[in-house]
Amino acid sequence: MVFLVAGAGGFIGFHLSKALLARGGKVIGIDNLNDYYSPLLKQARCEQLKQYQYFSFYHGDITDQAAIEQIVQEHSDIKFIFNLAAQAGVRYSLENPFAYIQTNVMGQVSILEMARRLPKLQRIFYASSSSVYGLNKKLPFSETDRVDRPSSVYAASKQSAELLSFTYNHLYGLKQTGLRFFTVYGPWGRPDMAYYLFAKAIIADKPITLYTGQNLSRDFTYISDVIDALLSLLDSATLEDYGIFNIGNSCQEKVESLVICLEENLGKKAVINYVERPETDIEATLSDINAIYKATGWTPKTKLSDGIRQFVDWFQNLGGRLLL
């Protein structure tokens, strides 16, 4: 079975590609390996994937029509697309909003137009985000909640991608499944995320920044649970032609609990500076995962304490060196 993984050099794309290859699949990966965070980490992920016989890699941007055309011509037998390519980061969207429209909106259109030309394609899975819930206050977040009040350009770009996917399903019958990820973490993770930044700072005896607020919390979701969720959706025979699922741990953890887990595993105390939470950041997230459970039977298995322990093991052995 042939898969296209857009964003194969990214955190989730890398782990998903490994899982698909381990199952005997053929994976076509594309990634522009941009410098939003260290390209060394992205390149190291790709080097891991290139050890598999049935992995092919294209260094290119999903908005580059020449790169897309080459993939269509050389791999017309693609059956599933996982579009995990994205410009990530909530706060960076204040600095460079154009990057989010280019990758998350134009990139989605590019993948959708590509999909129309693949005769054997069965379904597109695409990355969305818990950020689309924006200014909602009700917890847990459910797929039936309104998502028309984004609090950042990043969130708006992800909601735009969802709307485009719905339109292409309506117009052209492309079967699609959206994936609203909730704070994914773990080995080989993104170094711009809090758990990674905190680990680096604690090791270096530098202060970390925490936001003030009574309910500053996240639904931390371990990477292996995320991959199990994606595979369960891939294997499901009952998915509707179009749908969206929360992919979360369904467990609300205070960010201070994350810091405590890191301190325990690193053997060092954090120096903490408290600042006011910026308007772009949601105060709390929590996923309602009843929909994916009903569709596939999937439930997450990893507690935050166990996931952070595994992350720190990797970070101390390899992750920190990749970012020196």
Mean pLDDT of the region 276-288: 86
Q: Is the pLDDT of residue 49 over 90?
A: yes
For residue 319, how many C-alpha atoms fall within 13 Å in the half-sphere facing its CB?
A: 21
Q: How are beta strands 123-129 and 80-83 bridged, if at all?
A: parallel
Q: Is the pLDDT of residue 324 over 60?
A: no
Confidence of residue 128 (pLDDT cuts 50, 70, 90): very high
Confidence of residue 271 (pLDDT cuts 50, 70, 90): very high
For residue 296, how many C-alpha atoms fall within 13 Å in the half-sphere facing its CB?
A: 20
Average pLDDT, the chain: 94
- Neighbouring residues of 285: CB distance < 8 A, sequence distance ≥ 6: 130, 133, 139, 141, 182, 183, 217, 218, 219, 248, 252
What pLDDT does 83 receive?
98
Mean pLDDT of the region 255-280: 92
**Domain 2-322 class in CATH:** alpha beta
Q: Is the pLDDT of residue 293 over 80?
A: yes
Q: In terms of Cα–Cα distance, which of 290, 284, 224 is closest to 253? A: 284
Q: How far is Cα 97 from Cα 132, in angstroms, rounded to an integer?
A: 16
- pTM of the prediction? 0.95
Confidence of residue 317 (pLDDT cuts 50, 70, 90): confident
Q: How far is Cα 132 from Cα 149, in angstroms, rounded to an integer?
A: 8
For residue 240, the tally of other CB atoms under 10 A from its CB is: 10
What pLDDT does 322 receive?
64
What pLDDT does 323 receive?
61
The residue to which tokens 């390996």 are assigned: 33
Among 92, 154, 185, 222, the active-site one is: 154
What pLDDT does 90 receive?
83
For residue 59, the tally of other CB atoms under 10 A from its CB is: 13
What pLDDT does 320 receive?
62
What pLDDT does 308 receive?
98
* DSSP for 93-141, written as a single string: HHH-HHHHIIIIIIHHHHHHHHHTT-TT--EEEEEEEGGGGTT--SSSB
Q: Is the pLDDT of residue 319 over 80?
A: no
Q: How far is Cα 3 from Cα 238, in angstroms, rounded to an integer?
A: 20
What pLDDT does 205 receive?
94
What pLDDT does 199 receive?
95
Per cent of the chain over pLDDT 90 is 88
Mean pLDDT of the region 28-49: 94
What pLDDT does 134 receive?
93
pLDDT tens sequence across 88-121: 888 888 889 999 999 999 999 999 999 999 999 9
Mean pLDDT of the region 227-233: 98
What pLDDT does 282 receive?
80
Q: Is the pLDDT of residue 213 over 90?
A: no
Q: Is the pLDDT of residue 187 over 70?
A: yes
What pLDDT does 321 receive?
66
Per cent of the chain over pLDDT 70 is 98
What pLDDT does 118 receive?
97
185 is catalytic: no
Q: In terms of Cα–Cα distance, which of 43, 46, 114 is closest to 81? A: 114
Please give the radius of gyration of the chain, using alpha carbons only, rounded to the nearest integer: 19
Residue 274 β-bridge partners: 210
What pLDDT does 11 receive?
97
